[in-house]
Structure 1
Amino acid sequence: MKRVINFWSLLGFISVSAFLATEIAVVAAAVVWGISSLFGLAMVPTIALGILVGVPSLYGMVKATILAFQAETDPENN
Structure 2
Amino acid sequence: MEVKIRGVDPAAVKKIDELAKKQSISRNQFLAALINNYAALEEFKSYQGQYETVIKQCLQVIQQNSHTEERVLRYLEDKRQ
Q: Which one has a bigger Cα radius of gyration?
A: 2
Check whether TM > 0.5.
no
Q: Which has the higher contact order (CA 8 A, sep 6+)?
A: 1
TM-score (norm 1): 0.42
